[in-house]
């Protein structure tokens, strides 16, 4: 599997299963990624890069589920909606009590049966609607299997990369303690020392 947006962040490990599709969409922006990552372009900025990102992400999503999956073709009209879906999702993860996603909740999913027999949700629609539907499908699956709450956004304002918290108690804060946590903790420690010296 190749999650091109997430893997360009040094030390980042993709989320398990289809939740990595959601993580990869969130990490497809460049203005919020840690240095030197921000030298990479926003993967949803132009049609060619968005289609390339989507093709790789859909292929990886299919591999995660053990199926052949084909995503939609995108048009220029899809790009602003895709970026808005990404921002709605970011707001939803950052503050679930405040988020009011409109594009995500407008997405539709299909319920299918698979051998077993069991029911699964599948994305439907064209262009950005298919992507929103796939995101909704994976978010629902992650909520059902208990992994949704582990998808987090790094609080470092120069970073805010989306990471999957693999700590036992789900108490991870930083996408990387080395690049984001240690500098922030050091600044806080120095500020406390200055404050106590006065």
Q: What is the Cα–Cα distance from 2 to 43, expressed in whole angstroms? A: 15
Range list of H helices, 42-148:
47-65, 78-94, 103-106, 127-145
Closest C-alpha among 165, 171, 162, 136 to residue 150: 165
Query: Which range has the top average pLDDT, 71-80, 107-116, 151-160, 184-193?
Result: 71-80
Q: Are 6 and 23 in contact (CB under 8 A)?
A: yes
Q: What is the Cα–Cα distance from 64 to 107, expressed in whole angstroms? A: 22
Q: Which residue has the higher pLDDT, 65 or 78?
A: 78
Range of the domain at 38: 4-197
The domain total for the chain is 1
β-partners of residue 26 are none
Look at residue 50 and tell me whether its pLDDT is greater than 80.
yes
Q: Where residue 35 sits, what CATH number does that domain have?
A: 1.10.3300
Q: Are 82 and 72 in contact (CB under 8 A)?
A: no
Question: DSSP character for 149?
Answer: G
| pLDDT-derived band at 81, boundaries 50, 70, 90 | very high
């Amino acid at each position: 599997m190749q999650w091109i947006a997430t893997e360009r962040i040094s030390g980042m490990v993709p989320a398990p299963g289809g939740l990595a599709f959601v993580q990869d969409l969130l990490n497809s922006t460049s203005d919020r990624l840690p240095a030197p990552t921000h030298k990479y372009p926003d993967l949803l900025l132009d049609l060619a890069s968005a289609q390339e990102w989507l093709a790789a992400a859909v292929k990886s999503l299919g591999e995660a589920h053990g199926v052949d999956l084909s995503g939609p073709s995108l048009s220029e009209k899809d790009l602003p909606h895709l970026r808005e879906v990404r921002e709605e999702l970011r707001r939803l993860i950052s503050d679930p009590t405040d988020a009011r996603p409109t594009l995500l909740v407008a997405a539709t999913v299909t319920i299918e049966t698979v051998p077993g027999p069991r029911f699964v949700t599948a994305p439907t629609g064209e262009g950005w609607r298919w992507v929103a539907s796939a995101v909704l499908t994976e978010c629902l699956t992650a909520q059902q299997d208990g992994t949704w709450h582990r998808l987090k956004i790094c609080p470092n304002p120069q970073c805010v990369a989306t990471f999957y918290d693999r700590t036992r108690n789900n108490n991870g804060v930083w996408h990387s303690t080395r690049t984001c946590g240690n500098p922030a903790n050091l600044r806080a420690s120095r500020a406390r020392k200055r404050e106590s010296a006065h």
